[in-house]
Amino acid sequence: MRFDRRTGALIKNESEVLGAIRMMMEQFYNRFPDIAEKETHSITIMGGEEVLPKGEYFFLESYCNDLKCDCRRVFINVLYKDKILATMGYGWEEVKFYEQWMGEADMAADIKGPILELTGPHTEYSEALLKLFKEVIIPDTLFINRLKKHYEMFKKTCQKNSKREIEEELEHFDPELHAIVSLCKETGTGIDAITDTNREAFYPIIMAIEESIWTKYSEDSSLKDSEIIESLKNLRDNIFLEKALFNPLEEEIITKLKFVLFFNNYDKRDLSLSISSVLKSAKLHKSMSGSRGYLDFISSFFNQMVREK
């Protein structure tokens, strides 16, 4: 049994793991870059504001890529000078829709929003940006209609992600018969560096790596960050080599990555960037919190969510 870091769901088998890996809030730009460049909403603050600095603010849209989910919501990351200042959630339907969709009236108003999403980046400007979003952007009918259109467009591209198709493909996929390099696509995200703005696009790879690390640490409490760091370095430097040697944890990570690569459009650069991102996180937490800083950090989060579940 495994745990999905994003949703808090316990996952019982490999098919469910793959489904969880593929379900996330994904940027509209990832699938429609040309349209996103033309239709992403922006506001320019000219000065004189008490809270927000002057300049241009971009409201980047993300939607749930689970075909079975019809939440009719959007995540908005507010970008200012290449930094995310706030993450907001908003649903454009009436509250009654979210009561029926969730089957729970108490949380429907929060699901509809607009609210600050706890799972996203925030700064001292988040509350002011939420107020701006409520008072200026939401009343704009053209903006709301554009969200609805983008949502429908995005969902149509998720058709191939249906559970039945995943299960059918899974039956015929044996990771032992494939090399990592052969599963990497010629064209991936096209992103040169992982930032707060685009990190969501890499979640399936990052989750596959960290889920394997967390599972290993759950089984062996003597594991240390230094061992994880060495394993991540080995993967980073040798994962594309034909005759490289890997330890059991590294082999487990590679197996998970094969599934991710089989079901998603990632290239070698995407994979390398993701491994390096996890490596950077492990080094940072080790330097800040000691020999098991990173392992305790991810375990604390996972274990808390399991208890709440």
- pLDDT for 1 equals 32
Q: CB of 241 within 8 A of CB of 44?
A: no
pLDDT surpassing 60 at residue 242: yes
83-125 residue pLDDT tens: 999 999 999 999 999 888 877 777 888 889 899 987 778 899 9
Do the strands 115-116 and 73-80 form a parallel or antiparallel pair, or are they unpaired? Answer: unpaired
Q: CB of 271 within 8 A of CB of 208?
A: no
DSSP 245: -
Highest averaged pLDDT of the listed ranges 62-66, 143-147, 167-171: 143-147
Burial of 266 (0-12, 13-18, 19+ CB in 10 A): buried
**Rounded distance, CA 152 to CA 212, Å?**
34
Which of these, 119, 43, 109, lies nearest to 80 by C-alpha position?
43
43-52 residue pLDDT tens: 999 875 568 9
Strand partners, 76: 61, 88
**Rounded distance, CA 87 to CA 190, Å?**
24
- pLDDT for 308 equals 57
pLDDT surpassing 70 at residue 38: yes
Mean pLDDT of 231-246: 95
Mean pLDDT of 185-195: 86
Q: What's the per-residue H, E or C state across 52-101?
A: CCCEEEEEEEEEECCCCCCCCEEEEEEEECCEEEEEEEEECCCHHHHHHH
Percent of the chain with pLDDT over 90: 57
pLDDT higher for 28 or 160? 28
Confidence grade of residue 160 (pLDDT, cut at 50, 70, 90): low
Report the range of poorest mean pLDDT among 18-27, 149-158, 165-174, 228-237: 18-27
pLDDT surpassing 60 at residue 161: no
Taking residue 49's Cβ as centre, other Cβ atoms within 10 Å add up to 11
Distances (CA, A) of 294 to 192, 227, 285: 25, 11, 5
Q: What's the per-residue H, E or C state across 208-239?
A: HHHHHHHHHHHHCCCCCHHHHHHHHHHHHHHC
250-259 residue pLDDT tens: 999 999 999 8
pLDDT surpassing 80 at residue 282: yes
pLDDT surpassing 60 at residue 14: no
Tokens representing 261 are: 């690569």
Mean pLDDT taken over the chain: 85
pLDDT surpassing 90 at residue 132: yes
- pLDDT for 165 equals 63
Mean pLDDT of 190-217: 88
Confidence grade of residue 13 (pLDDT, cut at 50, 70, 90): very low
Mean pLDDT of 227-231: 97
Write the single-letter amino acid at 29.
Y
User: With DSSP H G I counted as helix, E B as strand and the rest as coil, what are the percentages for the chain, rounded to 5?
Assistant: 55, 15, 30
Strand partners, 55: 45
Q: CB of 32 within 8 A of CB of 26?
A: no
